A and B are shown apart, each in its own frame.
Chain A
Amino acid sequence: MKISRRDFLKWSIAAAAALKMNLDTDRMNTVLAAETDPPVIWLQGAGCSGCTVSTLNVTNPTTIDNVLLNKISMKYNSTIMTSAGETAIQALENAANQYKGQFILVIEGAIPSGTKNTYCIIGELNGTEITMEGALLKYGPMAKYVVAAGTCASFGGVPAASPNNTGCKSVKALLSGKTTNPIVNLPACPVHPTVLIQTLLDLILTGIPTLDSNSRPTKYYSQYIHSTCPRRDANDASAPGKYGCYEHLGCMGVYCNAHCVNTKWNNGVNWCIQSNYPCIGCAKPGFPTNPLNIPQ
């Protein structure tokens, strides 16, 4: 019997789990970046490329050079790919068709929709403009998994904030019920690189993670920031810039489910509350609230 490397890896993980063995996780994460592998197609809508930049900052589970060279076959990401114009769009088409039902579609940014869909054009195929909305509706159902990277793609975020004159919507609002598997939301502004890269590897190796009612992996979003915040028991700070708890200053960590206490940011060097400012709730549905910090 011939089995693929991926099947072998999956079998290895299952067997190791059954035997309670410790695995070399980096090895298990190494999923053949070979050209034959189910690839990642990454499309950018109404966003700022901050999620792409954040992803380049990844250190855990590994650094971005290792991700791109050895773990994930990145067929399309307009910020980092070499090809441009028709060559790039043709590469997108080819990858989607060749790997139909197998590829992972990552969406960054919200999606201008309906009569406003011309507010985001991602390229042209045979002289016809492709709207971001059109691309999402075309490639979303062809993908095995759809990942909304960041708060804009997950919940609409900043581009969809009131008055939302550009008709921006989340991935789920446009694609719900049209995908092979449940959409995976990875909110935060930007997406945390560990959360994104490890989720992509988890999808390839073990499939859809356990998701909560907002389609977020429970692995990263089951706790409010406040519930494990190292300043939870500190005295109330009199103002931003002072050490202490910011709950009474409207810290949104009280309402925001996210991983920041554990992951911190930028290779663990810092995070928002540690830099002496209240959490603005950037991973929360409804971000950005007005005001960003709502004292109780």
Chain B
Amino acid sequence: MSTIVIDPITRLEGHLKVEVTLDSNNVVTAAHVSGTLYRDFENMLINRVPKDAAFLTQRICGVCPVSHAIASAKAVEKAAGFSPNLQAILLRNLVQSSNYIASNILHFYHLALMDYVKGPQMSPWTPGYSQDYRFSQADNDALVNNYVAALSIRRKAQEMGAIFGGKLPHVANIVPGGITANPTSTDITNFRTYLNQIQSFITNTYQADVNKLAAAYGDYYNVGKGYSNLISFGVFDTTTSGNPLFPAGTVSNSVISTFNEANIKEFVKYSWYSSPSGQAPASGTTSPSYGKAGAYTWLKAPRYNNVPYEAGSLARVWISGDYRNGISVMDRHKARYVETAKLATNMQTWLNQITPGASAFTNLGTPASGSGAGLTEAPRGALGHWVSVASSKISKYQIITPTCWNASPADDSGNPGPIEKALIGTAVANSAQPIELLRIIHSFDPCTGCSVHVMSPEGVEMSKFIVQPIGG
């Protein structure tokens, strides 16, 4: 028996460590995934103006800020009893989907691909592993060329999103009430010019490169399968009454079920918190306890019906019916492509529905009191914000992020988190170069900045107004 520690896991957002135990055949028998950065967003939001949360929560994650802004704005709008108009919904969709495209392309080419391809022989692409690189020199060179081309495409996707969002990362104008952009016909034309170029890259280059990877590494359709339980909160409303492009739902044993927020609980037996375990997000409490015996992470363990679920592109396209080939490392990459292509197509439709000069913003003022939930999907999966307002200030704020689901530790029943489960059973050919483990972890596109962001003041009992974390 031996162990492998990888700390840091690089090529992701945030701070992540993985430790696995191997048997005498170098097969993983146990895995611990640890989030090693802890922030404090929920407490910071208390006593602030509700609309400011859309700006502050974007700073949880520089890779998926738009989804946080939208979740926050939706939560405050619910508290105020307001629904944005169609122009607002479509403009938000266009900014959020620009962010999705930038994120999915960044993930495939710049975060994941170097697990299969040798980069230029200089920093930051060296040092690296030499284990199991299968591409011919010609294919390798072609993929490196596309890595470079993709740098420009993901940048342009951010520029496209900024046309309506003001700037990226961290948009300037998605707030409760809608979005303050007031597009001209020139803005719409500029957006379409970007979209056409990006869509061409997606259908011609991204698709071919994902298929090339799948052809060379077909065995990865059988690696990193995990629980095969999938969850999505739904995203990209297409009308004022909802009708999301990617619907909410869950998948277990290949059966699709309706999603019910009430089935979520969070467990902390293996997390650095001394607060009670098994609480519903809305009523949970959190007391940090770094170094707690047996615990190994700042992430909590959210569970749905007490079972671990995987979130992300694969969950979305499975539930929407766009991709149901399987659940594995390679299926996650294919699913991200399918989603990206579908988004680009639908963006053309949404763009056609934008009315130049029409307002997408209603000045809501500040609700005096109320509470609301804002559910959406970040590129990495299910995202929820819950806000309570009292005396026109935030009295409670809670967030559940995608990587909470995927990179969670074991729950109180001992069920490992989804990434941990996906690692178990994997054979490591060379324990000095555990490339198989990196490939599995990267296929989930973890984002730990998102996943750990809450705490209570040390030694202070959480009052009913202090937020609790879900954050995990």
Contact = CB atoms under 8 A, between A and B. Distances in A.
Interface of A: 33, 35, 39, 44, 46-54, 56-57, 59, 63-65, 68-69, 73-89, 91, 95, 112, 118-124, 127, 129, 157-159, 161-166, 189-190, 239-241, 243, 265-267, 269-272, 274-277, 280, 282, 288, 290-292
Contact of B17 (A79, A121, A243): A121
B13 A158 contact: no
Contact of B169 (A53, A127, A157): A53
A189 B182 contact: no
B154 A56 contact: yes
A84 B361 CA distance: 45
Given A74-B124, A118-B290, A158 B166 contact: no
Interface string B444-472: 00000100000111100000000000000
A82 B119 contact: yes
Interface residues of B, number: 84
Interface in B150-193: 151-152, 154-155, 158-159, 161-173, 175, 178, 180-182, 190
Contact of A123 (B8, B125, B457): B8
B126 interface: yes
A46 B62 CA distance: 12
Contacts of B167: 265-266, 270-272, 275
Interface string B215-254: 0000000000000000000000000000000000000000
Contact of B162 (A33, A69, A269, A291): A269
Nearest to B155: A57
Contact of A165 (B43, B49, B127): B43
A35 B152 CA distance: 24
* Dominant SS among interface residues on chain A: loop
Contact of B9 (A85, A119, A129): A85
Interface of B: 5-15, 17, 36-40, 43-44, 47-49, 52, 55-56, 59-63, 65, 106, 110-111, 114, 119-120, 122-129, 148, 151-152, 154-155, 158-159, 161-173, 175, 178, 180-182, 190, 290-291, 298, 359-361, 363, 438, 449, 455-458
A218 B171 CA distance: 26
Given A271-B167, A288-B52, A161 B44 contact: yes
B15 A63 contact: no
B458 A54 contact: no
B123 A75 contact: yes
Top 10 A-B pairs ranked by shortest CB distance?
Answer: A50-B62, A275-B166, A272-B172, A265-B167, A241-B361, A266-B162, A85-B6, A121-B36, A276-B180, A241-B180
